[in-house]
Structure 1
Amino acid sequence: MIELIVVLSVIVLLTSILLPGLQAARDGARRVMCSANQRQIGVAFMLFGSDENGRLPKSWFQEQGRLPDMMAMTTGSSEDQSTPPGFDGLGLLWKDRYIDSPACCFCPAHRSEHTFEAASGKLATGTDADPAFCNYHYTGHLTHDAPSQRIRRRLTDPNLVLLTDGLRTRDDFNHQHGINLLMSDGSTVYRADTGSMFLNSLPDAEDFSGDFVEEMAAGEWIMRIWAELEIDG
């Protein structure tokens, strides 16, 4: 009996030592896979740009000032929308087959409801009444100056940040301690979230239920984070 207790104690001790390391290795592997997804999207951006004189896919949500919804690949339908639902932002890369599958727009580290399985049906036609959210946040086809000063962003600036990990809510923050960024030259950069500054500035998912206030619709926290990341170069 004493020997069994000793063996069990050793197993518990080894488990407590090894599990954090295994979790860290698992998180690191998911981060690498996420980076590979973003690089694949980067190639699609370049192919799109070569056909569109260096331009980026349009984001109807950006034009409407709805930054939180720039994670959506389709517009869905809403009262303030005069056009039928269709593909938007990253969704245009899928619509025109610059990517082989929309699965690359979903991070393996995502732990909430915006999964590829949940979105795949909506991405078949792009006409569903509800938007199809992915796990990456498109930074848009326009600069983020005042509306009257915005100009079209172009791939010729290698310092542009084209994508970040999701910033709509805390549930969309894919990695626990930082975010992956896709640059306009096709490279990816991991930015540590020191002190959880980015994560703590995001609203909870419940804040998006029902009628939300103007600040929620505009996503002012996203603008603050993107300013910190210098997304316009």
Structure 2
Amino acid sequence: MNQQTAYSGPPCFRRLKGFTLIELLVVLAIIGLLAALLFPVFARAREAARGLSCLSNEKQIGTALLLYLQDYDETYPMSRLPDATHPLSGCMAPSPLWNPSDQLEGSSINWKREIAPYIKNLQVFDCPSNAYAWYQGGFNGTMGDESNWAYPRSQWLPASYAYNGAFFHEAVPPCWYGEPRVRPRYLAEISAPAQLLWVIESRYNYPDLGNWFLTLTAPDGRGGLGAFQSHNGAINFLFADGHAKRLKLAATCMQHLWTDVYPDPEDSCKNVSQIPPEYR
């Protein structure tokens, strides 16, 4: 009877095949390429979501402003109001072709402070996309809103939203219309509220931004960024009838949204071709 002879040599191992260095580098290159393609998409999607949050803020601000308008006989809150050290005045600009100016600049009271009682949560004044909401600069080097110098830190406001200064700046009547003193604007002065900008997304701490800011850069001069906060190249605007929507900055000039039937002697929209790259 034959018996099989047992194999007494070295044990046999199954050969395992791994990645070569070239294959690993190819995989890493593909992952890097996919990341480069997808990260901008994710960033745009995140910014779009933040833009919706900022648009919601504007709508809530609009509701508060409309309530104020009802309570004060269709009178809009002034961009800035007088306080103990900032009296009412006439126009302080050297020429009617310059930006409107008065002695209320730097006042502790502005339109945001006026409508605060109508707003449950003051966080609506903070746009999550705005890296300059607490930037220290602007008038008197204040951090956040221009008026914060007069209040304890618990009552500070961020700087994310501003009036349309080309219409609602309190010095427009004396500077551009020849009236003796600053004053608020009235609903009766507006013929088409759905076509007039009211509140704008801002990177500056001033309570209003006029169209003279169209070509200016962000407060720190960062290249490519402008004075208005944008979301994927478009800006949220609140209109004088209370509706809000996103628009390209150039469209506000093409559609003549900065003023109503009143003249705009500065006509800053003539420089719209020079707006920062962010808005193009």
Two-structure CA RMSD over aligned residues (Å): 4.5
| 2:41 aligns with one of 2, 5, 21 | 21
Conserved? CA contact 1:141–1:153, under 8 Å: no
Question: For 1:144 and 1:85, how far apart are their aligned partners in 2?
Answer: 17
1:188 alignment partner in structure 2? 244
Unpaired segments of 5 or more residues in structure 2?
1-20, 82-88, 137-142, 203-208, 219-226, 254-264, 273-280
Instruction: Specify the alignment match of 2:185 in structure 1.
Output: 152
Asked if the contact 1:85–1:126 (Cα under 8 Å) also holds between the matched residues in 2, the reply is: no
Once the two structures are TM-superposed, the CA of residue 52 in structure 1 deviates from its matched residue by 0.6
Q: C-alpha displacement at 1:59, in angstroms?
A: 2.2
Number of residue pairs matched?
192
**Is the radius of gyration larger for structure 1 or structure 2?**
2
Contact 2:80–2:170, Cα closer than 8 Å, also in 1: no
Letter in 2 for 1:154: L
Choose which of 193, 199, 221 in structure 2 pairs with 1:163.
Answer: 199
2:133 and 2:159 in contact (8 A); partners too? no
Separation (CA, whole Å) in 2 of partners of 1:60 and 1:111 = 24
1:55 touches 1:141 (CA, 8 Å); kept in 2? no
1:44-193 equivalent positions in 2, closer than 5 A: 44-60=64-80, 81=103, 85-94=107-116, 97-112=117-132, 114=134, 118-119=143-144, 123=148, 126=151, 134-139=159-164, 140=168, 144=172, 146-148=176-178, 152-154=185-187, 158-159=193-194, 160-166=196-202, 167=209, 169-171=216-218, 172-175=227-230, 177-193=233-249
Which has the larger share of helix? 1
Normalised by the size of structure 2, how large is the TM-score?
Answer: 0.54
Counterpart CA distance in 2 for 1:186 and 1:226 is: 27
Distance (Å, rounded) in 2 between the aligned partners of 1:83 and 1:24: 37
Instruction: Give me the identity figure in percent.
Output: 24
1:103-138 CA-partner distances (Å, limit 9, x unpaired): 21222111236369x438x6596489xx96612121
Q: Distance in 2 between matches of 1:135 and 1:28?
A: 17
Do the aligned residues in 2 keep the contact of 1:163 with 1:181 (CA within 8 Å)?
yes
> Could you say if the C-alpha distance between residues 151 and 40 of structure 1 is closer, same or farther in structure 2, counting changes exceeding 3 Å?
closer
Gaps of 5+ in 1: 71-79, 198-219, 229-233
Shifted more, 142-151 versus 12-21: the winner is: 142-151
In the superposition, the TM-score normalised over structure 1's length comes to 0.63
1:224 is aligned to 2:268: yes
Q: Whole-Å Cα distance in 1 between the matches of residues 130 and 99 of structure 2? A: 17
